[in-house]
Each structure stands twice: as C-alpha cells, then as structure tokens.
Chains A and B, each alone.
Chain A
Amino acid sequence: MSGTDILALAACGLVAIGLYGVVAQAEVLRKIIAFNLLGAGVFLLFGVVARRGAAAGLAADPVPQAMVITGLVVAFAATALALVLTLRLHQITGAATVAEDPPSGAAPDPASEP
C-alpha cells in the first residue's frame, strides 16, 4: 500500500465523518461545519486522483488541482451564505436548529428586530 492509498483512505474517512455529522447533529451550525468536512474529503479524493495522474515531470495532474481550487472558493461562498441564513434565522425566530416543531421557549425576540 502506497502513501497515496493511505491518504485516499483518509479522504474516504473524512467523507464518512462529515456525512455522519450532517445527519446526526441537530444544530445548523454544526451541520455546516460537518458539511465542510465532507467537502474537504471529496476535494482530497480529487487530490488523490491528481497524484495518481502524475506524469510529464509534474508531481500531480494539474486539471483536478485546478478544479479543487475552484471548488474551495465556491464552497467558501456557499458556506458564507449558509452561515448568514443561519444567523438571520436565529435573529428572527431564536432557533438554532431547523426542527419541525419549534420549542415553546424560542419565542420571536422583538428586541432584535426593531
């Protein structure tokens, strides 16, 4: 087993950990963090594919690398949007989760929205 194979398994593990976090955690913020871990695992799989495609004197295939750089920036933009939505949800309803039945304690806070 080569070093790249070990890192490939790490990427699969990262996807699994992220997927578990997205499904099993209640807070939206933690779901966003877990989703980013899942994304990092997918990007790492691209890195493994790039490394396996090393040729022509290059350490890794540049095409998957360029796709990952594009993906990282788009993932950041999507995360920023998700976080702002989370914050706005919290400001309007006081909720930190997207449970179907909002708890009675989380009444809308009129002070936060004058």
Chain B
Amino acid sequence: MTAGLLFDLMMALAVLGTAAWTLAARTQFAAVIGFVATGLLLSLVWVRLGAVDVALTEAAIGAGATGVIILYVVARLRGGTAEISAATPSRAQRALAALLAVAVGGVLALAVLNLPDPAPSLAEAALAGSAPLGLGNPVSAVLMAHRGLDTLLESVVLVFAVLAVWSMAADHRWGGAPGPVFRREESGPLSLLARVLPPVGIVVGIYIAWVGADAPGGKFQGGTILAAMWILPWIAGLARPPSITDWRLRLMIAAGPLTFLCVGLAGFAVADGFLSYPPSFAKPLILLIEAAMTLSVAAALACLIAGPPERRLPPESMAADRR
C-alpha cells in the first residue's frame, strides 16, 4: 500500500511539474511538448483511478490528437515578441491572477477532501442495467444506453465542429481538400512509417472499437487510431484527402449521428421511447451504432486535425468530384 501511495505522490508531482513547465516554457513548441507530456502522465493517473477507458481516451484524444493540432498551429503562428510583451499582464496583475488561482484551487481541494464518505455511487445501477443489454463493459453501457442522449449530442457536436472549421476557409478556397498539401516523400522514415503502419493500425483501431462492448475501448478510442492512420499517409504526401464537397466524405462524417438518431427514433415504435432498445435486439443495434460512430469519429477527427481547405483543387479534378 505504501508503494502505491508513493507512486500516486510521484504521479501527482510529475503532472503538476509538467503542467507548470508547460506555462513557463519559453517557446510555444516547448509548451506543446509539455502539454503532451502532461496528457500522457494523466493517462497513467487515470489507470491508477481504475478508469482504463478514460485513460485510453486521454492518451488518444487529450494528449495525442490535441497535441497534434496545437503543434500544427504553432508551426504557422508567428507572433511578434513586441506585441506579446505589450499584451502580457503586468507583474501586479499576474500576482493577482496567481492569488485567484491559488484561492480557486484551495477551495476546490477543501471541497474534494470533505466529500461525503461513503461516496454516492451509481455503479450498481449501471451494472444492473448493462447485463440485459449484453454489454460487459459498464462504461460502454452508460455511454450507449443510460446516457445515450449525451453520446448522441456529442456525436452531433463533432459534426458541427467540422462544419465550423471548414467555414473558416476563405471563399475562394471552398471546395478544396482540407488542410495544406504536403510534398510527397519517396523515402525516409516518415514515408516508410506511412506505408507500414496503416495496415496494422487499422486492424488495431477496429479491434479497439469492437472490444469496447466488453472491455476497455470503444468508438472514440478506436476512431482516433483510425483517424491517425488516415493522417499519416496524408502528411507523408502519399495520399490526398478528398475534397470537402465530396459527398462520400460528408456521408462518412454524418453516418454515425444519423444512425444513432434513426435507432433512437425507432425506439418510439419498438421499445419504450426515444433512445431505448428492444431488450431482445439491444446488442445488435448498439453494435450497429458503434460501427457507424467509429467511422464518423475517425472521419470527423481527421477533418478537424487537417483543418480548413487551404488550396483549391485544380479545375479538372473539381469537375471529376462534381460528377
């Protein structure tokens, strides 16, 4: 027990240390590296808290995908030092900010340490509810059934986020492929990785999405891996993302929420109401939604990572897309 306590203490100090370093880092690049390191340490903390599903999501999305999109902006953002130092709050203002932060952190700590004991728990209710659905992973059961509305709305948020990111494109670039165009790498480690990794990564991604019904994993974790396997050949210049006006891409992004919504509405006819499943047919329906959602999460995350279109397609390929 003491070893576990010591490990927790080390993890806590490491997380706080990397987080503080992220703020103190001189360059933006170093700050992003600090942020990713903090995220990876946090996923270890999640394992310590017994939440392996969250640990996978934190490593894949919180540290990985977020780190990639921030790095990508860092590489293109050139702020003048004069502008930044002029806008930086004065020493007194920063001292006030520190006071505010310490006060908020202190009050939170006081509240958390004085939580009622024994803590209220919905674990038994969730477990009792997940057995009839045929799901061995109670977290997946909560995501798909007990709090299905949250997950449905979240999947819609992803679609809206893609729409919002695309709408940042300048007018004359609408209809292009998302993101910048990378030079084709014929040799080198990136090119090799982009050729060798996707076959393995796609299998791993689908497996993690599939196994989520009974073990830690699920559509978000698996979908993120699939998105990475799409991004890798794109960055190596080996594959081009489809145009944002391509209906197949749009269908991929919308398929998950649409399937979820249709099954949810079907609940009115065949079960107790919106987003409820008929008891004898729950597992196949949930797997259908999970499969469609994995595809949509992968496509939406890839589009969010790629960003708005930055170069218009040549006219002939646009004509081909229209057909």
Contacts and interface: CB of A to CB of B under 8 A. Distances in A.
Interface of A: 2-21, 23-27, 29-30, 32-34, 36-37, 40, 43-45, 47-63, 65-70, 72-81, 83-88, 90, 95-99, 102-103, 105-106, 113
B80 A96 contact: yes
B16 A26 contact: no
Interface string B132-147: 0000001101110011
Interface in B111-165: 112-113, 115, 117, 119-124, 126-127, 138-139, 141-143, 146-147, 150-151, 154, 157-158, 160-161, 164-165
Contacts of A88: 168
B73 interface: yes
Contacts of A72: 54, 57-58, 61-62, 220
Contacts of B70: 29, 32-33, 79, 83
Given A16-B102, A19-B101, A79-B66, A27 B79 contact: yes
B320 interface: no
Contact of B51 (A45, A65, A96): A65
A63 B73 CA distance: 34
Interface string B225-253: 00000000000000000000000000000
B42 interface: yes
Nearest to A98: B87
Contacts of B307: 84, 87
A29 B73 contact: yes
Main secondary structure of the interface of A (DSSP, over half): helix
Interface stretch (B32-40, B183-191, B258-266): B32-40
A63 B123 CA distance: 7
Interface in B265-309: 297, 301, 304-305, 307-308
Interface in B206-222: 218, 220
B49 A47 contact: yes
Nearest to A9: B109
B316 interface: no
A7 B12 contact: yes
Contact of B122 (A32, A63, A73): A63
B177 interface: no
A103 B23 contact: no
Main secondary structure of the interface of B (DSSP, over half): helix
Nearest to B89: A24
A96 B54 contact: no
17 contacts: A3-B48, A26-B88, A27-B28, A37-B19, A45-B108, A45-B112, A55-B123, A60-B49, A65-B53, A69-B143, A72-B62, A76-B66, A77-B160, A85-B168, A87-B77, A96-B79, A103-B86
Interface in B53-81: 53-54, 57-58, 61-62, 65-66, 69-70, 72-74, 76-80
B49 A34 contact: no
A89 B206 CA distance: 38
Instruction: Report, nearest first, the 4 A-B pairs whose CB atoms are least far apart.
Output: A96-B79, A59-B50, A16-B105, A53-B121
Given A7-B11, A16-B104, A61 B122 contact: yes
B237 to A, nearest CB: 21
A10 B19 CA distance: 11
A105 B143 contact: no
Contacts of A81: 161, 164-165
A49 B119 contact: yes
Contacts of B102: 16
B151 A61 contact: no
A56 B28 contact: no
A45 to B, nearest CB: 7
Given A14-B15, A68-B51, A80-B165, A48 B112 contact: yes
Contacts of A74: 154, 157
B123 A58 contact: yes
A113 B171 CA distance: 11
